[in-house]
Amino acid sequence: MTATDTVRPLTAAELAAVRADFPLLGRTVRGGRPLVYLDSAATSQKPNVVLEAEVDFYEQRNAAVHRGAHQVAEEATAAFEDARSAVASFVGAADDEIVWTPGATAAINLVAYALGNATAGRGGADAERFRLAPGDEIVVTEAEHHANLVPWQELCARTGAVLRWFGVDDDGRLDLSDVGSVITERTRVVAFGHVSNVTGAVAPVETLVAAAREVGAYTVLDACQSVPHLPVDLHALGVDFAAFSAHKMLGPTGVGALYGRRELLEALPPVTTGGSMVEVVTMTETTYMPPPQRFEAGTQMVAQAVGMGVAAQWLDELGMGRVAAHEREIAAELLKITEIPGIRVIGPSDDRDRIGVVSFVVDGVHAHDVSQVLDDRGIAVRVGHHCAQPLHRRFGVAATARASASVYTGVEDVVAFREALAGVRAFFGAE
């Protein structure tokens, strides 16, 4: 990425070329209407190169990785490990700091269960640093996706640790006005989302990492909504662990990654055990391989990992600075819905430190009804609590509708969305 990448959004011709690469964007819905896909925060569409990479893997290279002594197995292993390198370099990590997982949820659970195993005495002396005791504290935020909340609630229940959290202000940003009273000497883990999947707000990672470091707590970054939309350099951010999913970054479903700082992964006990992660097995005990293989028991999702690597390369070639610049423009277009009477955005209404994820409520109309009217016009948005019930409770709503962008979203998509949204209240007689 060059300095100009950070400022130059996509030209109309470049966007058209990008869109042409995504077959699904060309389809029609609901009686021939062109699809307006504004649900990329739930899952993104996939470019041809990703689809082709999976097919090519199965057609030409399909074999068990890390085991076979034949040519196809060697090629499969190379494709699998090359994909790991592509993903690692995409997020500023070393190859052996990337563990394949089925997704971000699995990655966060992996860390939480590994800490639990360390607390139960597994992992020997190396893992003692991870032990939790009753009264230790785990800090999260009120804005978390359930994937980065429930695993920590469970870990607290298993270890006697206590869960604490930062609230959010009326603008949907984390309230860090008194960081030092939440992150204290008792804090052992600080787990937080880089970007909220509801408000689109970017968290001040630097502040939270600095506060955690000061008290020797481990940081776990849920990077699910940042990696697909912003340049992310995990080494530069200084987090200890991070989780993200391929399917939100133009890659396949069923695969994601856990990033862990090398020295931490080396000391962490495994969670899922079995084949492919062991060195010596006797009838009574087993020694484990170093990371990342220690955390990759059983047959892996090889074709999907290969697809994730290609997705990372595709984004890298476009330049994440340019992706972010393009999506910033789309976010500004989305935020113009605040000009429609009766629309309330849940989250920052300015485009500073936020991405193109905009959740909203329509006065007098249930979110499900909003999405139905939009769907009738071919516009796909998400509706519900978006796996963030506490955040919705904070704003006094059970559900919101959410429009979310990706690199392939155009201004025309947003204009169609705004026009349809402007008619929703009248449709239900709610004006």
Active site residue 387: yes
Candidates 221-229, 274-282, 285-293, 363-371; binding stretch for ligand PLP (CB under 6 A): 221-229
Measured distance CA(225)–CA(230) in Å, rounded: 9
We find the least distance from the C-beta atom of residue 228 to ligand PLP, in angstroms, to be 10
44 near ligand PLP (CB under 6 A):
no
Residue 135 structure tokens: 């009264």
Left, alpha or beta for 307 (phi > 0: left; psi -120 to 50: alpha)?
Answer: alpha
Tell me which of 197, 199, 219, 293 binds ligand PLP, using CB under 6 A: 197
Output 210 or 387, the one with its CB closest to ligand PLP: 387
DSSP-H helix ranges across 336-377: 367-376
Candidates 145-153, 261-269, 284-292, 308-316; binding stretch for ligand PLP (CB under 6 A): 145-153
We find the least distance from the C-beta atom of residue 194 to ligand PLP, in angstroms, to be 8
3-state secondary structure of 373: helix
Query: What value, to the nearest 5°, has the Cα angle with vertex 90 and ends 88 and 91?
Result: 70
Q: Which candidate in 387, 390, 422, 427 is catalytic?
A: 387
Tell me which of 245, 300, 304, 371 binds ligand PLP, using CB under 6 A: 245
Residue pair 222/144 in contact by the 8 Å Cβ criterion:
yes
Tell me which of 65, 98, 103, 249 binds ligand PLP, using CB under 6 A: 103
Output 10 or 139, the one with its CB closest to ligand PLP: 139
Measured distance CA(184)–CA(164) in Å, rounded: 11
Left, alpha or beta for 2 (phi > 0: left; psi -120 to 50: alpha)?
Answer: beta
Measured distance CA(9)–CA(129) in Å, rounded: 45
Start-to-end CA distance of the chain, whole Å, equals 48
We find the least distance from the C-beta atom of residue 110 to ligand PLP, in angstroms, to be 11
Candidates 92-100, 113-121, 140-148, 396-404; binding stretch for ligand PLP (CB under 6 A): 140-148
Site of interaction with ligand PLP (CB under 6 A) = 103-105, 145, 147-148, 193, 197, 222, 224-225, 245, 247, 256, 387
Q: Which residues are catalytic?
A: 387
